[in-house]
């Protein structure tokens, strides 16, 4: 390692270019990793952040809460089975607007029991009150000029809602979430649609899941999230590109060192002739690749973290430390594996040919 570091610092101009390339490409990989997580959260964070372990939906709902419907009898059965470990959940895409504006804003309403475990934690304001026309908004609405205490209007029903609190990172299907009580949710439905029929979309379950009621299906939180429209396709596509870039960047390092070590084969031959072992030379090559990859990964991680802090809240970008660690460790490991081509070539160098001048 010491010999590898000495050569890197002595010939720093030679290695600077590849280090810059490594930093830029690793930064791109981390940027994609942040997008994967950010887009995933933009689709599902409203569900993922819930203190629920499973959801009970109507049969043939295909794991989609928005198309599910539970009867009163089914809800009563679930109440008897789970007690306080169950709570209703209704979801509806809609529009709202500030009372003083005609500009419509996309919103996803979550109808919940304010006393249940789905009630969101607020960082500003207070929680919902049962039966009142109140709303808790995702913090993204603040970027649209909505403040605590403002009155917003549901565009379809005309129901006016008082903003009593703000919560963080709550989105569903790329749209920010607004929490209202189940009573308020039903009131908006009845005023906006004369054909509206009250029905609970789903029941969230906390803790152990028992046998589901007749005519219902039970799914884990992960199954519900994976079934959200667009979630799986987005995640698979960007993740594939991300890991392809990891492999390409690692191979670039391997090719760079292979070319450099080809130019140094005469030096390696002389080193072998004076007694330096092949293992030591190989260790030096691998150490150089490790140092270049690790340093580039560390700098790229710092840049990505700084960018994450600087980006606006509306940007779907989120770095998950565990995922970043996996990507960086995999990158360094693949880089080391790509250096084995140089090691294999070094093992075939014959010092006698080098000393005798018969070296090609």
Asked whether the beta carbons of 156 and 128 are under 8 A apart, the reply is no
Mean pLDDT confidence for 228-233? 84
For the chain, the structural domain boundaries read: 2-44+232-355, 54-208
Asked whether the beta carbons of 86 and 57 are under 8 A apart, the reply is no
Q: What is the pLDDT of residue 221?
A: 93
CA distance 61 to 359: 73
Element at 182 (helix H, strand E) = helix 182-192
The burial of 260, by beta-carbon neighbours within 10 Å (0-12 exposed, 13-18 middle, 19 or more buried), is given as: middle
Would you state the structure tokens that stand for residue 180, as one six-digit string? 């209202």
Q: What is the pLDDT of residue 272?
A: 78
Look-up of token digits 């304010």: 114
pLDDT 10s digits, 120-145? 999 998 989 877 889 999 998 998 88
Q: What are phi and psi of 163, to 5 degrees?
A: -80, 110
**DSSP secondary-structure letter at 200?**
B
CA-angle at 28, arms to 228 and 247, nearest 5°: 90
Asked whether the beta carbons of 58 and 68 are under 8 A apart, the reply is yes
pLDDT 10s digits, 300-313? 999 999 998 888 77
220 Cβ contact partners less than 8 Å away, ≥ 6 residues apart: 53, 54, 209
Q: What is the pLDDT of residue 346?
A: 79
Mean pLDDT confidence for 326-340? 88
Most confident stretch, 77-91, 202-216, 250-264, 303-317? 77-91
This prediction's pTM: 0.78
Q: What is the pLDDT of residue 109?
A: 96
pLDDT 10s digits, 143-194? 888 999 999 999 989 899 999 999 998 999 889 999 999 999 999 999 988 8
Q: What is the pLDDT of residue 256?
A: 83
Q: What is the pLDDT of residue 92?
A: 94
CA distance 88 to 158: 24
Q: What is the pLDDT of residue 68?
A: 93
Q: State how far Cα 202 lies from the chain centre.
A: 25
pLDDT 10s digits, 244-274? 888 888 888 888 888 887 777 777 777 778 8
90: left (phi over 0), alpha (psi -120 to 50) or beta: beta
CA distance 169 to 124: 13
343: left (phi over 0), alpha (psi -120 to 50) or beta: alpha
Q: Say yes or no to pLDDT of 9 above 80.
A: no
pLDDT 10s digits, 339-360? 888 888 878 777 777 666 554 5
Q: Of 209, 170, 201, 200, whose CA–CA distance to 53 is shortest?
A: 209
Element at 219 (helix H, strand E) = strand 216-220
- Kindly report the average pLDDT of the chain as a whole number: 87
pLDDT 10s digits, 15-61? 788 889 889 988 988 998 888 888 888 888 999 999 999 999 998 88
Q: Say yes or no to pLDDT of 314 above 80.
A: no
């Amino acid at each position: 390692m010491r010999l590898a570091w000495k050569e890197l610092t002595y010939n720093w101009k030679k290695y600077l270019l590849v280090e810059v390339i490594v930093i830029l490409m690793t930064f791109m990989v981390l940027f994609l990793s942040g997008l994967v997580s950010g887009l995933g959260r933009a689709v599902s964070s409203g569900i993922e952040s819930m203190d629920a372990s499973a959801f009970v939906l109507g049969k043939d709902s295909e794991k989609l809460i928005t198309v599910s419907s539970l009867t009163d009898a089914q809800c009563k059965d679930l109440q008897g089975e789970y007690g306080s470990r169950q709570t209703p959940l209704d979801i509806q895409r809609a529009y709202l607007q500030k009372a003083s504006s005609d500009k419509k804003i996309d919103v996803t309403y979550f109808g919940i029991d304010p006393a249940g475990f789905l009630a969101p934690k607020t960082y500003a304001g207070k929680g919902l009150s049962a039966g009142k026309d109140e709303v808790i908004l995702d913090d993204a609405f603040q970027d649209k000029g909505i403040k605590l205490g403002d009155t917003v209007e549901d565009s379809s029903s005309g129901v006016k809602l008082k903003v009593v609190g703000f919560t963080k990172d709550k989105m569903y299907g790329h749209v920010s979430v607004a929490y209202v009580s189940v009573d308020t949710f039903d009131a908006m439905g009845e005023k906006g649609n004369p054909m509206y029929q009250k029905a609970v979309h789903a029941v969230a379950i906390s803790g152990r899941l028992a046998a589901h009621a007749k005519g219902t299906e039970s799914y884990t939180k992960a199954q519900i999230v994976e079934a959200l429209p667009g979630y799986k396709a987005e995640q698979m596509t960007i993740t594939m590109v991300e890991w392809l870039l990891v492999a390409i960047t690692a191979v670039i390092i391997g090719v760079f060192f292979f070319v450099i070590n080809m130019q140094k084969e005469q030096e390696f031959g002389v080193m072998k002739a004076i007694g330096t072992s092949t293992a030591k030379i190989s260790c030096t090559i691998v150490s150089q690749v490790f140092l270049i990859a690790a340093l580039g990964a560390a700098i790229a991680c710092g840049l990505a973290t700084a960018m994450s802090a600087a980006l606006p809240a509306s940007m779907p970008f989120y770095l998950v430390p565990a995922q970043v660690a996996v990507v960086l460790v995999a990158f360094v490991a693949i880089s080391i594996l790509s250096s084995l081509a140089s090691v294999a070539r070094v093992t075939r160098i014959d010092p006698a040919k080098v000393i005798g001048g018969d070296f090609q």
